[in-house]
Chains A and B, each alone.
Chain A
Amino acid sequence: MSIEVTSLAKSFGSSVAVEDVSFEVPAGSLMALLGPSGGGKSTVLRMIAGLEVPDAGTVRIDGEDVTRLPARSRGIGFCFQHYAPFRHMTAWENVAFGLKIRHRPKAEIAARVAELLELVRLSGFADRYPSQLSGGQRQRMALARALAVEPRVLLLDEPFGALDAQVRKELRTWLRELHEKVAVTTVLVTHDQEEAMEVADQIAVIREGRLEQVGTPAECYDHPASEFVLTFLGPATRINGAWVRPHDLALSLEDRPGARRGTVERIVRLGFETRVEVVLDDGTDTWVQLAGRALDELALSLGARVYVSMEHARDFSAVASSPTV
């Protein structure tokens, strides 16, 4: 089922949380709302869910205007950052809740809950209380609970935000697989650009309540609509007055046509990649991202004189000069 939001706006008191946000999520796809914390993306999600009432604008699910409909009648599944488990119920009872209040037959509930617990890999944990589950398990339980009522759309509010890095990565991959299996239209809120790029079919970048860009991860990365999108989606640095991706820059010890001379100021090793910070002779700071063993081949040390060339780099200056908020 598709989701369509048009000109959504919301203020809390005198502070504007969301301003004129419009986008469409095609049926069966996964959209990530990406942006810095406090930028209004969760408010957009809560307005789609019916947990906040917009000051202006409309929300349509499957073509139906649901703007004035309470959350319980919208046919949605919602997952909260802190899981919002029903603490007095076991995992089984949590997942069964939506079906029980719909008075479905017992046999049907049992079958459906078993199937969902299997899907989220919690079959052996049916009788555990939320306090006896890990963070990742609680969020998977919350997902199963949301999916139990066969929602028209699935809304996830920073679902992995409270988990540690390793579990985040696992769940991210798992969510993508799950989405391919269940194929329910999904909107995911995240401030982690890597998460958005890996999981989503489309990304909507939101900053200070406004929509900066909507597009596929590749479109947003390669054709950022603003300087903000450019710098938020990936590393960017300035050289020769141009905006470039530091992994597109080349570093060498010999001069090359068009290369700029500078001194190595800092070398940061981050496992698979290395960050080399260079002060150019004209005084500007820039940095180059090297992969794998490239650093060892150059045998760089602090204070070394190097040449930075941007012959393979794409200049995003046109974007950078475009007006942004």
Chain B
Amino acid sequence: MISRWLLRAFGFGYVGFLVGIPVVAVVWRALAPGFSSAWHSVDTPAGIHALELTLESAAIAVVLNTLFGVGVALILARHRFPGASVVEMLVDLPLSLSPVVVGLALTLFYSSRQGWIGGWLTARGIEVIFAFPGIVLASAFVSLPYVVREVLPVLQELGTDSERAAETLGAGPFTVFFRITLPAIRWGLAYGVLLTTARILGEFGAMSVVSGNIVGQTQTFTQFVSAYFTNYDPAGAYAGALVLGLISMFILAALSVTRSRGERFS
């Protein structure tokens, strides 16, 4: 009985001190001067632009990783082919690779001056590094594993029998995918998409290498928050952090709804 209470106290204590209390502290500090004053530090042309940039690049990267993530998961789950384990390893790589390395790798490949194909792209008027495409690429890179990792086990558990059954009932490949496969993986997919979104919105390391951090142009929202902090304006930093925190909380709520929905059918 006592040991159970101790165990709980330990669990709550660890998570509380590590995550809970510091986050509450940020919210507290951000709202200390009042909500409207906090909002005003974010509601500047630079702040709004940074927020828009982050949301737009996130939207594109999420769509890309959703489409390709489902495709890759389908290929890995349904086909045995040489090199499958290499593909799986590459999919997992962003989880273990420091985002700074991601940024440097992208720069090395796409930069207009020393990039392997950057020069070729620049000659055709396409700038990647220090521009919007680079931000999208970095976002997609760091968040690649989440959709694949959420969808793959669901597909493996589902097997192919229900898809074959639909086929024998007269369904073509598109009908099978949209009526059978997609509904079966929808909660796993939703979970993966939410994790992907959360990961992209909070990305800082890769952005600090590829975005260029030009205020009002290529500064992402995390960089905007960070700039407040390095400019000795912690109140502004806390306010910005609050906005990111609110978005996370929204995603978190969506995640827990998704999880409970998903359990109903399994």
**Which residues of A are at the interface with B, using a C-beta cutoff of 8 A?**
49-51, 70-74, 76-78, 80, 82, 84-88, 97-98, 101-102, 129, 131, 142, 145-146, 148-149
Q: Per-residue CB proximity of B159-191 to A under 8 Å, as 1/0?
A: 001101111111110010001100110100000
CA distance A148 to B165 in the complex (A): 13
- B81 at the binding interface (Cβ < 8 Å): no
Q: Which of A86, A101, A149 contacts B162 (CB 8 A)?
A: A86
Decide yes or no: A70 and B167 within 8 Å by CB, A82-B161, A101-B175, A129-B265 being known contacts: yes
CA distance A101 to B178 in the complex (A): 12
Residues in A with CB closer than 8 Å to B169 are 72, 77, 97-98, 101, 145-146, 148-149
**Are A102 and B161 in contact, with the CB atoms below 8 A?**
no
**Which residues of B are at the interface with A, using a C-beta cutoff of 8 A?**
161-162, 164-172, 175, 179-180, 183-184, 186, 265
Residues in B with CB closer than 8 Å to A77 are 168-169
The 4 closest A-B pairs by CB, nearest first: A84-B161, A98-B169, A78-B168, A84-B165
Instruction: Name 25 A/B residue pairs within 8 A (Cβ), A-sorted.
Output: A50-B168, A51-B164, A51-B168, A72-B168, A72-B169, A72-B172, A78-B165, A80-B164, A84-B161, A84-B164, A84-B165, A87-B162, A88-B265, A97-B169, A98-B169, A101-B169, A101-B170, A101-B175, A102-B170, A129-B265, A145-B165, A145-B169, A146-B168, A149-B169, A149-B170
Residues in B with CB closer than 8 Å to A145 are 165, 169
B220 → chain A closest CB, angstroms: 38
Residues in B with CB closer than 8 Å to A87 are 162, 184, 265
Residues in A with CB closer than 8 Å to B186 are 88
Closest to A80 in B: B161
Decide yes or no: A84 and B162 within 8 Å by CB, A101-B175, A129-B265 being known contacts: yes
**Are A101 and B171 in contact, with the CB atoms below 8 A?**
yes
Closest to A76 in B: B168
Q: Which of A50, A74, A80, A101 contacts B165 (CB 8 A)?
A: A80
Closest to A97 in B: B169
Q: Which of B168, B183, B184 contacts A71 (CB 8 A)?
A: B168
Closest to A84 in B: B161
CA distance A142 to B161 in the complex (A): 12
| B interface: dominant SS | helix
CA distance A75 to B179 in the complex (A): 20
B184 → chain A closest CB, angstroms: 6
CA distance A25 to B204 in the complex (A): 68
Closest to A151 in B: B168
CA distance A102 to B170 in the complex (A): 8
Residues in A with CB closer than 8 Å to B171 are 72, 97, 101
CA distance A73 to B180 in the complex (A): 18
List 10 extra interface pairs beyond A82-B161, A84-B161, A86-B166, CB under 8 A. Answer: A71-B164, A72-B168, A74-B168, A78-B168, A80-B161, A84-B164, A86-B162, A98-B169, A145-B165, A149-B169
B136 → chain A closest CB, angstroms: 33
Closest to A49 in B: B168
CA distance A71 to B166 in the complex (A): 10
CA distance A315 to B57 in the complex (A): 83
Closest to A74 in B: B168
Residues in A with CB closer than 8 Å to B167 are 51, 70-72
Residues in A with CB closer than 8 Å to B172 are 72
Residues in A with CB closer than 8 Å to B164 are 51, 71, 78, 80, 84
A35 → chain B closest CB, angstroms: 21
Decide yes or no: A131 and B265 within 8 Å by CB, A87-B162, A88-B183 being known contacts: yes
Residues in B with CB closer than 8 Å to A71 are 164, 167-168
A33 → chain B closest CB, angstroms: 17
**Are B265 and A72 in contact, with the CB atoms below 8 A?**
no
Residues in A with CB closer than 8 Å to B162 are 84-87
Q: Which residue, of B166, B169, B180, has the highest number of chain A Cβ atoms within 10 A?
A: B169
Residues in B with CB closer than 8 Å to A142 are 165
B61 → chain A closest CB, angstroms: 28
Residues in B with CB closer than 8 Å to A50 are 168
Residues in B with CB closer than 8 Å to A82 are 161
CA distance A200 to B180 in the complex (A): 33
Q: Which residue, of B165, B166, B170, B175, has the highest number of chain A Cβ atoms within 10 A?
A: B165
CA distance A145 to B183 in the complex (A): 19
CA distance A303 to B220 in the complex (A): 92
Closest to B175 in A: A101
B180 → chain A closest CB, angstroms: 6
